[in-house]
Amino acid sequence: MSYAKLLLAALTLLVASSLQAADSRPNIVWIIVDDMSANFSCYGETTIETPHVDRMAREGVKFTNAYVTAPVCSTCRSAFITGMYQTSIGAHHHRSGRGDKKIVLLEGIQPVPKLFQEAGYHTSIGSWPGRKNRKGKTDYNFEWDPSMYDSADWSGHKPGQPFFHQIQTSGGKMRGGNRSGAQKLAARAKEQFGAATKPSDVTLPPYYPRDEVILEDWAAYLDSVRFTDLLVGEVLARLAKENILDNTLVVFMTDHGISHARGKQFLYEEGLHVPLVIRGPRIAAGATREDLVEHIDIAALSLAAAGIPIPDYMQARDVFSKAYEPRDAIFAARDRCDETVEHLRCVRTERYKYIRNFLPARPYLQPNAYKDKKSILVALRAAHAAGRLNDAQSLILAESRPAEELYDLQADPHEIKNLASDPKHSGTLRKLRGRLDRWIDETDDHGRDPETPEMYDSDMTVYVNTLKARKGDPEHLKRIEDNIALMKKWASEGK
């Protein structure tokens, strides 16, 4: 055989070997759900059954202490798509950087899909079921290149090419924000499952009253969990039909907890604690992990599963690494949401949670047009005005708040008894106060300084003009404009 033929044969073997190595890399599928806490059977929910997420837990690993670093969608999503705290990249205000004033990632920081794309993966993002090649929800608070997603579905990947796909689904948003929406979802559940969840069967946290509206809403929320579970089953079935399930890492997670008075937008467990279930190649079946993990960690563990180096700048950790050192605390932050200026930070250890309220003179439920129009908030306020709430149920309706909150989560899992002023817990308070201070400094928390008036006005202009263009409810728009004026007034007063 001539030298040229030998060289060609060697090159052919080398290319074939490279393709085989590339082909063996796992696919990565993220299922990201809106507005949903860990109300699944495998997490102890008994009112409903969730066989498909339960199956994932049996075939993979279930994390019982997974937490988001932000209890609202855009900030949470900005964090997990970069593997960094939203506060470290300046993306901590909800839906910020949408106007003339932009937010740009520091040089060298790249979103996770871009890293997969550069490694030869097909990247896609869609909803479920897919909508005619329409890409799914992103909602990132920084400038990013849409080309980092090749398509809206993994079906566009080349033969043998691994893919990274994100599935976005509405989850808890399915029930809407009023009784009509809840009732419509109940009707859908009856048609799909044979029966809707009964409001009378609902078990509420002790800080909510057994009000008719709230019970009806929570029942509809549980039906949204059932529909979400059905979706998970459909995703697994499609992967199995295409004979790629065994070589696909499937990550199931929500973007924050249930949208309720003490859930979404707050740093209590209801807002921060989320389900996280992962199945796939080299994942031990039926495992349960009780160590503290942050939702940003899905960035690192997914890159590692694909053999892609984890960038040094990432704060995410590969929780499956042999060298992994479990976190002894998680951190979270909440800042402006829509028109409502806010500044909260917290640190949670295995036993305690410390929350710092930087704006203690303001009410817990500050004026916010998005939340205030929800039937559950209207009902809660009406019950409070009528004197039907006990002390625990009235907490979230206080007109001011302590500068610090400290909870013993073992003795008080619902975070009702604030121990910050209890001398017996002064040592724990000092320790966690210092721990949060160090995190703020070490992670370069951009929220240390208030949002500039120019940035606030830039985003509010887009917010208001978008609603005007949609010709929505004029009263809702007026409420937003009034709230914007109130936020500026309170800021000028130092409140």
CATH of the domain at 115: 3.40.720.10
Nearest of 84, 141, 133 to residue 112 by alpha carbon? 84
420/70 Cα distance (integer angstroms): 23
Per-residue pLDDT of the chain (495 residues; tens, 9 = 90+): 444 344 434 333 343 344 444 568 999 999 999 999 999 999 999 999 999 999 999 999 999 999 999 999 999 999 999 999 999 999 999 999 999 999 999 999 999 999 999 999 999 999 987 777 899 999 999 999 999 999 999 999 999 999 999 999 999 999 999 999 999 999 999 999 999 999 999 999 999 999 999 999 999 999 999 999 999 999 999 999 999 999 999 999 999 999 999 999 999 999 999 999 999 999 999 999 999 999 999 999 999 999 999 999 999 999 999 999 999 999 999 999 999 999 999 999 999 999 999 999 999 999 999 999 999 999 999 999 999 999 999 999 999 999 999 999 999 999 999 999 999 999 999 999 999 999 999 999 999 999 999 999 999 999 999 999 998 899 999 999 999 999 999 999 999
- Residue 17 carries which side chain, given as an amino acid letter? S
Assigned domain for 18 exists: no
Long-range contacts of 447-456 (CB under 8 A, 24+ apart): 447/87, 447/92, 447/333, 447/335, 447/343, 447/345, 450/341, 450/343, 450/491, 451/93, 451/96, 451/335, 451/336, 451/341, 453/488, 454/101, 455/93, 455/96, 455/101, 456/336, 456/341, 456/487
331/294 Cα distance (integer angstroms): 8
Residue 12: the pLDDT is 33
Q: Distance of CA 38 to CAs 234, 252, 290, 307, 465, Å?
A: 20, 11, 14, 30, 36
Question: Domain span at residue 149?
Answer: 27-320
Residue 23: the pLDDT is 60
473/384 Cα distance (integer angstroms): 27
Assigned domain for 409 exists: no
CA-atom Rg of the chain in angstroms: 24
* Lateral strand order in the sheet of 344-348: 330-334, 344-348, 352-357, 404-408
Tell me how many degrees the CA angle 327-333-338 measures, rounded to the nearest 5: 150
Query: In the numeric block, which tokens belong to residue 459?
Result: 């985003």
Assigned domain for 385 exists: no
β-strands 27-33, 163-169 pairing: parallel
Q: Would you call 189 exposed, middle or buried from its count of C-beta atoms within 10 A (0-12, 13-18, 19+)?
A: buried
Assigned domain for 17 exists: no
Residue 132: the pLDDT is 77
Assigned domain for 140 exists: yes
Assigned domain for 425 exists: no
**Cis ω for the linkage preceding 129 (within 30 of 0):** yes
Residue 152: the pLDDT is 96
pTM: 0.94
DSSP bridge pairs for 418:
none
The number of domains in the chain is: 1
Assigned domain for 13 exists: no
Residue 5: the pLDDT is 42
Assigned domain for 461 exists: no
DSSP bridge pairs for 355:
346, 405
